[in-house]
Amino acid sequence: MESVCERMEDYGERTDPSTNRKSYIRVKSRTGEAMDLSEATLDSRVTSSLKFACETIVEHHEDEIIEFFAYEVDNVKDKLCSKRTDLCDHALNIPHDEL
């Protein structure tokens, strides 16, 4: 739990050209292979903001996170994201496999 938010350095910001909606995409490969970064904006402010958001979520919901992983609950991402914390009800239909 202590190091999970350090991984926010692996993400950059992407802006959808048709909607101007911002999202976050992985910019560092887990296996070391090259990645297409043409749509990513790499900015230390984005990384800092993501890390802060992650730390805040972990701090406020640490008990729930530990509980879900301790009991190997199915669909951890959906249960934590929506049913237990209401952090991202709007995103249930969007894949978020990084969790």
Query: CA-CA distance, 51 to 57, in Å (whole number)?
Result: 10
6: left (phi over 0), alpha (psi -120 to 50) or beta: alpha
For the chain (length 99 residues), average pLDDT per consecutive 10?
A: 83 88 85 79 86 88 79 69 63 50
3-state secondary structure of 68: helix
pLDDT for the residue 51 = 92
DSSP for residue 59: H
Please give the model's pTM, rounded to 2 decimal places. Answer: 0.66
pLDDT for the residue 35 = 78
